[in-house]
Amino acid sequence: AQRVTQPEKLLSVFKGAPVELKCNYSYSGSPELFWYVQYSRQRLQLLLRHISRESIKGFTADLNKGETSFHLKKPFAQEEDSAMYYCALKAPPKAAGNKLTFGGGTRVLVKP
Amino acid sequence: DTGVSQDPRHKITKRGQNVTFRCDPISEHNRLYWYRQTLGQGPEFLTYFQNEAQLEKSRLLSDRFSAERPKGSFSTLEIQRTEQGDSAMYLCASSRGRETSSQYFGPGTRLLVL
């Protein structure tokens, strides 16, 4: 079974401080990993995906297959980063199913 | 706005009533997904369509739940004989037909069963 765990429900950091959101997954294969973000009163939107290997809004995430982790990092948090962040997993192409399996989410609060 | 749209945005109903939600995907997307999100949790997969074919259903989707996508465009999710445990945010997402396509989410329909 596929599972995503986000151990922190809440992360509170000061503006300009680094922030790291942890994501661990369970899947017997090579899944696709995503980070979605939901700002206040907005819909869930894709932040980044591991196959793109890009930085979005200063965030990066590296897939560590050995540790089955996909932690999200930003070196200098901004107040506009305050939001709910969800890590998600999808089975690789051709495998059964196209569903996303989400973690429980981490609320990030960036204080001025 | 060419994003995924959902209607209604909010629904309050009494236990035992039937409710129906609608989702309009992004026009060129042939895959459509329904998820449910309860307070403090991440979204949970319910079901998935490719064009008009329902290809996967979660065990969460009890017999009281039915989803359709009759012409491969919009989709409806119906809950019969609602229960208080059905109270949640119901999210719709769509994606292109390619396996590597990202899913784009709608604003959700918040259901409260009294």
B17-38 confidence digits (pLDDT tens): 999 999 999 998 989 999 999 9
pLDDT in tens, A65-100: 899 999 999 999 999 999 999 999 998 766 556 789
CB contact under 8 A, B43 and A102: yes
Mutation site, B23, B29, B45, interface A, largest A CB count within 10 A: B45
Q: Which of B11, B3, B94, B7 minimizes the C-alpha distance to B48?
A: B94
Partners of A60 in the beta sheet?
A73
Give the integer Cα–Cα distance in Å for A86 and A79. Answer: 18
CB contact under 8 A, A43 and B48: no
CB contact under 8 A, B33 and A44: no
At residue B92's C-alpha, the angle toward residues B59 and A85, to 5°, is 90
Q: Which of B67, B24, B28 minimizes the C-alpha distance to B45?
A: B67
Give the integer Cα–Cα distance in Å for A9 and A21. Answer: 10
Give the integer Cα–Cα distance in Å for A37 and A59. Answer: 11
Q: Tokens 């890009």 label which residue?
A: A54
The amino acid present at B23, given as its one-letter code, is C
Which residue of chain A is at minimal alpha-carbon distance from B33? A99
Q: What pLDDT score does B52 carry?
A: 92
If one counts every other C-beta atom within 10 angstroms of the C-beta of residue B94, the result is 24
- Whether chain B has a CB inside 8 Å of the CB on A102: the answer is yes
Residue A28: pLDDT over 60? yes
